[in-house]
Structure 1
Amino acid sequence: MRILRITDLSDDGLADYSRLTDVALRRVSEPAGGLYIAESTKVITRALAAGHIPRSVLLQEQWLPGVEPLLADHPDVPVYVGDSAVLEELTGYHLHRGALAAMHRPQLPDPRELLADARRVVVLEDIVDHTNVGAIFRSVAGLGADAVLISPRCADPLYRRSVRVSMGTVLQVPWTRIPEWDVAAPILHDAGFEIAALALADDAVTLDDFAADQPERIALVLGSEGDGLSRRALAAADTVVTIPMLHGVDSLNVASASAVALWALRARSQASPR
C-alpha cells in the first residue's frame, strides 16, 4: 500500500475528509466533487465489489492489516494514517468504525435502463432525512424490489449516514435520479408500471387489497417525512394505497412504511398479476 503518515492537516489529499459532520456543506461538496465517503471496512468492501474506485483511504494504524487485502487491485491509492486525536480533528468526530475511504461517484444510469427488466421499484419523493433514505434502501435490498428512483430534491443515498444505515446496500441496489413528475410519470407508464402512491386518501385502497390483486409492474411512491407526497405525485398516481392502522395512529415513519409495503407485495408475489 501507498502509506502516508499524517503530519499536516492542510495536505490537499486530506480535503475529502474535512468537516464530515457538516451536513449542509457535505451534501453540496460531495456530489460537486464527484465523491462520497465509505465508512467501515464492510462498506468499503461492498463499494469495491460494486466496482467503485477509491480516491484515498483514512484510518488508524491498527486497521492497516484489514484494509491491505481490499486494496490489492489499487496499489497506488494513498492510505492516510494518523492517531485518533488527529483524525478526530480532521473529520469532526471519533472514528470508531475502522476506516474511511473517499470513493469516486459512479455515473448514474438513465431511469429507462433500470426499468427495462424491473418489476418492483421504489420511488422516493423529497425525503430529507439521510437515515430514512438508508433504511429504505436496506428494506429494498432485503425485501426484493429491483431499483430505487429518487426525486431531484431527495437526500443523497451516498451521503455517509445513508450508506452506513443501509449497511452498504445503497452500493448494491440499482438507483438513479428522475426528473419532475411531468416527465417521470410518462417514463414509468411507458415502461409498463402502475404508479402506486403510499398515502392517506378517501379513495385509497388498503395495502392488503392492493397486494392481493397486484399489477405485474409496480412503482411504489413514498413521500417526505413532514408533508408526505406532493399534489403532483398524487396526481401522477394510478392508485393510492394505505396501510390500515389502529388506535388513532394514521401513519408510520416512511422507512417503516416502506418495509411493511414491500413485505406485503413480496408475500403476495405469487398471486396472479392483473
Structure 2
Amino acid sequence: MNAVTRAQLISDATDPRLDDFRDLMRADREPQRGVIIAEGVNVVQRLARSPYRIRTVAGVPARLEALAPVLAGLDAEVYELDKWALSDVVGFRVTRGVLASADRPPPVAAGSLIAAGSRFVVLESINDYENLGAVFRNCAAFGVDAVLLDPQCADPLYRRSVRVSMGHVFGVGFAVLDRPWPASLDLLRDAGVRLLAMTPRPSATALARLDRPDRWALLLGAEGPGLSEAALAAADEWVRIPMADGVDSLNVATAGAVALAHLTG
C-alpha cells in the first residue's frame, strides 16, 4: 500500500473491486449501478468537495499522487493500476489517468430549489451530453442558483456531462420538472419568477434592452430546433442575441453563456 495515497495495487482488470468503472461506454451502466463517475484530477477534486459521497478511486500512480491531499481525507477505497489495465476496465482509452465513483443522490424536488433561489436556467430536450455539461459549467460561472430540466433532457450526472462541466455539475443544484411539460413552468411563475425564452426570432427583445427582473428563469432549447412552440407560448418574454446577417443561431451552451452574462452583469 502506498504511504501517500494509501492505494492498493491491482494488476488484474477483471478484479471485482473495480466494478463501478466497468464497461463505461454504455450510458445505462452508471444509473444501473447507482453511481456517478468523475474523470481527471480536477473533476475528482470537485467531487471530493461536494456533498456526494465518493465510493472508489482508481488511477495511475502519478494521478493518485496529485490527489494525495484529497485522498487522505476520504473514507473511500483507493486502487492503483497501470494505464492499460485501467483502460481495459472501462472499455476505452483513459487519458486523464484517474476515475472516481460516488453514490447517486435521490432526486431533488424542483419546488425546494425554486423557493431558495432567484436565478434559474430551464432546459428543454437538451439530450447532448457535452452541451448539457457545458451549460452546467456556464451556470456555475455566472452564479445560477439551480438548473431545471424537462423530462426529455439527458442525465446531468452521466460521465460525459460531468467531464465537460469540469465537475461543476456537482456544485449546481438541479431537478427534473416531472409534471406535464410545459405546464410545470407554472411552478416558477407562481413563485414570482419571470420566464425568459431564448429565441432568434426578430420579435424577441434584444438582451441589451431587457429590463432585468429580480427573479428570472432563462429557457434554453435543444441544439437545432430550439424551444418548442409550447415552451415559447408559456414564457413571459422572448429574448434574443443580435447576430450578423446570415447567422441565425449559436450553440446552445454558447448562447446560454452570452445571455447569462447579460442577466448577471
TM-score for the superposition, normalised by structure 2 = 0.90
Q: Find the aligned partners of 2:16 and 2:227 in 1 and give their Cα distance.
A: 42
**Equivalent of 1:6, from 10, 15, 19?**
10
- Measured against aligned partners, the alpha-carbon deviations of 1:139-196 in whole angstroms (never above 9, x if no partner) come to 1111232211112121222222222222211111121221232442121111111111
> What one-letter code is carried by the residue in structure 2 that aligns with 1:31?
P
Displacement after TM superposition at 1:252 (Å)? 0.8
In structure 2, the partner of 1:120 is 119
Displacement after TM superposition at 1:73 (Å)? 3.6
User: Matched residues, percent identical?
Assistant: 44
Gap regions ≥5 residues in structure 1:
268-274
| Equivalent residues in 2 for 1:174-253, closer than 5 Å | 174-179=173-178, 180-201=180-201, 203-210=203-210, 213-253=211-251
- Measured against aligned partners, the alpha-carbon deviations of 1:34-65 in whole angstroms (never above 9, x if no partner) come to 21111122211211211211121111123333
SS of 1:181 mapped into structure 2:
coil
Q: Find the aligned partners of 2:45 and 2:131 in 1 and give their Cα distance.
A: 23
Displacement after TM superposition at 1:80 (Å)? 2.3
| Equivalent residues in 2 for 1:70-149, closer than 5 Å | 70-75=70-75, 77-149=76-148
Distance 1:253 1:157, change over 3 A: same
Displacement after TM superposition at 1:31 (Å)? 2.2
SS of 2:116 mapped into structure 1:
coil
SS of 1:247 mapped into structure 2:
coil
Once the two structures are overlaid, the 10-residue window that deviates more, 189-198 or 85-94, is: 85-94
In structure 2, the partner of 1:58 is 58
Coordinate RMSD, CA, aligned: 1.9
The question of whether the paired residues in 1 share the 8 Å contact of 2:12 and 2:85 is answered with no
The question of whether the paired residues in 2 share the 8 Å contact of 1:112 and 1:191 is answered with no
Q: Find the aligned partners of 1:18 and 1:217 in 2 and give their Cα distance.
A: 43
> What one-letter code is carried by the residue in structure 2 that aligns with 1:18?
R
In structure 2, the partner of 1:271 is none
SS of 1:116 mapped into structure 2:
helix
> What one-letter code is carried by the residue in structure 1 that aligns with 2:218?
L
Displacement after TM superposition at 1:103 (Å)? 1.0
Q: Find the aligned partners of 1:159 and 1:217 in 2 and give their Cα distance.
A: 29
> What one-letter code is carried by the residue in structure 1 that aligns with 2:260?
L
Q: Find the aligned partners of 1:43 and 1:244 in 2 and give their Cα distance.
A: 35
In structure 1, the partner of 2:154 is 155
Gap regions ≥5 residues in structure 2:
none
> What one-letter code is carried by the residue in structure 2 that aligns with 1:4?
Q
The question of whether the paired residues in 1 share the 8 Å contact of 2:11 and 2:85 is answered with no
In structure 2, the partner of 1:272 is none
How many residue pairs get aligned? The number is 260
- Measured against aligned partners, the alpha-carbon deviations of 1:244-268 in whole angstroms (never above 9, x if no partner) come to 111211111101100110111122x
SS of 2:217 mapped into structure 1:
strand
Displacement after TM superposition at 1:107 (Å)? 2.6
The question of whether the paired residues in 1 share the 8 Å contact of 2:14 and 2:89 is answered with no
- Measured against aligned partners, the alpha-carbon deviations of 1:77-102 in whole angstroms (never above 9, x if no partner) come to 22222112111122233333231001
Q: Find the aligned partners of 2:237 and 2:186 in 1 and give their Cα distance.
A: 15
Distance 1:64 1:214, change over 3 A: closer
